[in-house]
Amino acid sequence: MRSHKIILSMFFSLLGCAFVSAQVNGFKTDEFVYWQPNVQIEFADFAQQADSEMMDRFKKLWISSLATVQIQVVMDEPQRIRGGHIKSEKVYIAPVFCVKRSCQIGEMDRAIEYAKIQIDIAEWCARQTRKRIKDLHKIKTARGLVKDSLPAMVDEMYESMNKLLGAFSNQVMVKKQEGAFEQWRLRCDQLLKETKQHATTEEECNRFINDAPYSEDYKESYKVLEK
C-alpha cells in the first residue's frame, strides 16, 4: 500500500504547463503499436472481438473499451571480442499497445484518448528503467551489473506500470471522477516532457520489429514481451 502511494506521489508531483504535439502514425505491426513521440492509436487498432464475457464486463463497469499495453524488453550480449575491446550489453525497451488484446464496442471518442494515456504511462515507466540502466553503465568497474540487475528492474518497472494503470482505470474509467481524465493527461504530458532524454527510440522499436540483434557480434540473451 505504501509503495502504491509513493509511486502515485512521484507521478503527480511535477507541475507546470502541458504541451501538445501533432499526431502522426507510429510504428505498427499486426500485433503491436510501438510508442513513439507522436504515435497514433486508431479505432481499427482495437482488433479483439468482444465475446459474451467481455460484454458482461463492459456492462458491469459501464465502459465500452479495454486497452492492453505491455513493455517489451530485450538484451543483446556481445559474443565476440575484437581488438581486445569488450563491448557492453545492449538493452532495448519499447512500450506497446497490444492490437489483438484490445477491444472496443462502437467508436467512443475517449477510447483512443484513454489508450494514449495508458501507453504514455508505460513509456514513463520504461524511461525510469532506461535511466537506471544508463546509470549502471557509467560504473566502469561493474561489468555484468546490468545483466544481473535487469530481471529485477523489469519486475519493478511492470509493478509500477500496473499500479499506475490500475489507478488511472479506477479513477477515470470506473468511478469517472470529475476532472480526473484531464489531470492524468496533464501529468503524462508533464512527465514525458521532463524525461524526454530517456525516450524510446526508433532503433529500439525496430529491434523488436526485426526480432534480431543489429550485429552478428551480439546474441540475444534476455527477452520479456509481457508480464
Flag whether 97 is in a domain. Answer: yes
At residue 9, does pLDDT exceed 80? no
Residue pointed to by grid coordinates 503499436 = 33
Flag whether 226 is in a domain. Answer: no
What is d(CA 106, CA 90) in angstroms, rounded to the nearest whole number? 42
% of the chain beyond a pLDDT of 70: 82
Flag whether 225 is in a domain. Answer: no
Flag whether 199 is in a domain. Answer: yes
The whole-number pLDDT of residue 122 equals: 98
| Long-range contacts (CB closer than 8 Å, 24 or more residues apart) made by 36-41 | 36/200, 36/202, 36/205, 37/199, 39/116, 39/119, 41/67, 41/97, 41/112, 41/115, 41/116, 41/119
Flag whether 75 is in a domain. Answer: yes
Task: Give the residue numbers spanning the domain of 44.
Answer: 2-218
Helices (H), the chain: 2-11, 52-61, 109-137, 145-168, 180-194, 202-210
Digit-coded pLDDT (tens) for 164-220? 999 999 999 889 999 999 999 999 999 999 999 999 999 999 999 999 999 999 999
What is d(CA 183, CA 94) in angstroms, rounded to the nearest whole number? 25
Band (20; pLDDT cuts 50, 70, 90): very low
| Domain count along the chain | 1
Taking all residues of the chain, what is their mean pLDDT, rounded to a whole number?
A: 86
Flag whether 33 is in a domain. Answer: yes
